[in-house]
Amino acid sequence: MAREMILVLDFGGQYNQLIARRVRENNVYCEVHTALSMEKIRKLNPAGIILTGGPQSVYASDSLLPPVELFSLGVPVLGICYGAQAMAHVLGGEVKPATVSEYGRTEFETVSASELFKGVEKSSVVWMSHTDRITAAPDNFTATATTANCPIAAMEDAAKNFYAVQFHPEVVHTVEGKKIFSNFVDICGCKRDWKMSSFVVDTIAQLKNKIGGGKVLCALSGGVDSSVAAVLLSKAVGKNLTCVFVDHGLLRKNEAAQVAEAFSHFDLNFIQVDAGERFLSKLSGIVDPERKRKIIGEEFIRVFEEVSKKIGAVDYLVQGTIYPDVIESGLGKSAVIKSHHNVGGLPDFVDFKEIVEPLRLLFKDEVREAGRELGLPEEIVSRQPFPGPGLGIRIIGEVTAEKVKLVQDADAIYREEIDKAGIKHLAQYFAALTNMRSVGVMGDGRTYDFAIALRAVLTSDFMTAEAAQIPWDVLSRAANRIVNEVKGVNRVLYDCTSKPPATIEFE
């Protein structure tokens, strides 16, 4: 029996990954695709379709628009922001530049009954981000909501289950956003029966079918993503899987030994490759963060290719790529925020039959849930994320062995103080080395040393995050220890920036 799903058609908006999250929170499977043909859309057989926001204008010559045939499929369609304008444009309505653009929190009011707004307060706050607006609805559409500057803030053709909202219900700033998505799921007639246990069973079966008797090499970092990917593959192909852990010299203090110890208890073909000098040599003199990521991504692949040749004819390379990696590396016409070493950082040529990414459409919290379904121990499932490029992107500017040791020591002190304080709710916390030197005083003498930046964030999906408010006494103890115990550091800063506008990592 085919799995019911809602299709998200991506037009390049900055919040599109959140749309998938909101649907999945309702226990409905969801996929995000860009510029699909009608043949592919029909093959996916969606229970409903969501048209996302995007940076374009529908009347621009190069704008992406949904095919008009999409509205003859007989399934509910929800247009969001640009997606609402695209729906209006394709179906014969009118879209023009707004006389007053709307950005941020906006007072919103429903003006007629609607299944989409069932249980939604008549007046509430929504999140707007648009310069165009719908000035005339298509035939048979009625306006269902308004704002002070947008007479058609929502519209619908209830008979055909076509709905459009000018605002972004997927972001937390839209107070009734979750309810709106829940209503759309009901309109689509979804049974809400998609669970992570289903994902695990289905994925193992798909991997068995895809790989058959082929040999598989898994890039295992010890983090939750690659660990879950490894166990999925182990259950699918058994002894045909080899897990390769690359110590690229950019790990946290004592991490290589800890990873090796953790996986010694698993029935996996585990290989450790010590390649620290090799990676540092490749990074010598490189300061641009995108170049660093791409160099690290390519070197990982070269190491895996060499291991593959030694163990003999490996067909598939498995990576623990997750959805935030894909989004930030650019999806369709979406902006590239930063190339992840395992996505946008891959070289043009990879000497494997195929790269397999079984977690590619999962968010971090979903990966953790899958890990629990697979029986992974909690210390791995709840392990704090660590980026594939490691300290290479927590050292601003050129990476050297001296800088690596400096940030390793500072990071170990910070993590130790957080643990001693019993702070458990943080999603991620670490020390980074800025490229700034400043004057200090130690032992009645002048110093001119580096500044360390401490960071801690709260997030569920790692697509958005807010800076955690660490107690001052904890930060003070960590800062005092770092400047006294780590030679070369005379200043400690705390990063209190959210994501966006910042990213969680520094580069």
Q: Which residues are catalytic?
A: 81, 168, 170
- pLDDT above 90 for 403: yes
Angle formed by the axes of helices 364-373 and 224-237, nearest 10°: 40
**298-323 average pLDDT score:** 87
- pLDDT tens, position by position, 206-265: 999 999 889 999 988 888 899 999 999 999 999 999 999 999 999 999 989 888 888 877
- pLDDT tens, position by position, 47-98: 999 999 988 899 888 888 999 999 999 999 999 999 999 999 999 999 988 7
Residue 336 confidence (pLDDT): 43
Residue 104 confidence (pLDDT): 78
Top pLDDT among 346 and 253 is at: 253
Summary mean pLDDT of the chain: 89
**304-311 average pLDDT score:** 88
Torsion of CA 477, 478, 480, 484, to 10 degrees: 140
Q: Please give the backbone phi and psi of residue 142, each rounded to the nearest 5 degrees, phi first.
A: -125, 145
CA angle 16, 18, 21 (to 5 degrees): 125
**130-144 average pLDDT score:** 92
> CA torsion sign, 85 to 91 to 96 to 100?
negative
Q: How confident is the model at residue 344 (pLDDT cuts 50, 70, 90)?
A: very low
- pLDDT above 60 for 338: no
Q: Of 163, 5, 174, nearest to 87 (Cα)?
A: 163
CA distance 41 to 60: 24
CA distance 228 to 358: 9
Q: How confident is the model at residue 382 (pLDDT cuts 50, 70, 90)?
A: confident
Which of 3-17, 77-91, 184-198, 479-493 has the lowest average pLDDT?
3-17
- pLDDT tens, position by position, 159-208: 999 999 999 999 888 999 999 999 999 999 999 988 888 889 989 999 99
Which of 15-19, 67-71, 349-353, 371-375 has the lowest average pLDDT?
349-353
Q: What residues contact residue 241 under an 8 Å CB cut-off, 6+ apart?
A: 216, 217, 218, 230, 233, 234, 268, 269, 318
Residue 190 confidence (pLDDT): 96
Q: Of 189, 93, 73, nearest to 143 (Cα)?
A: 93
Residue 345 confidence (pLDDT): 47
Structure-token match 């790692």, residue found: 462
CA distance 473 to 464: 27
Residue 309: Cβ within 10 Å count: 11
Q: Report, in angstroms and rounded to the nearest whole number, the Rg of the chain calculated over CA atoms.
A: 25
Q: H-type helices in 151-288, by residue range?
A: 177-187, 196-211, 224-237, 255-263, 276-283
Q: How confident is the model at residue 329 (pLDDT cuts 50, 70, 90)?
A: low
DSSP state of 385: P
- pLDDT above 50 for 339: no
What three-state secondary structure class fits 404?
A: helix
Q: Whole-model pTM?
A: 0.68
Token pair, residue 133, equals 């607006």
> CA torsion sign, 118 to 121 to 122 to 125?
negative
C-alpha distance from residue 76 to each of 155, 156, 190, 378, 469 (Å):
14, 11, 11, 40, 43
**356-377 average pLDDT score:** 88
What domains does the chain contain, in order, with CATH numbers?
5-187 (3.40.50.880), 196-381 (3.40.50.620), 394-495 (3.30.300.10)
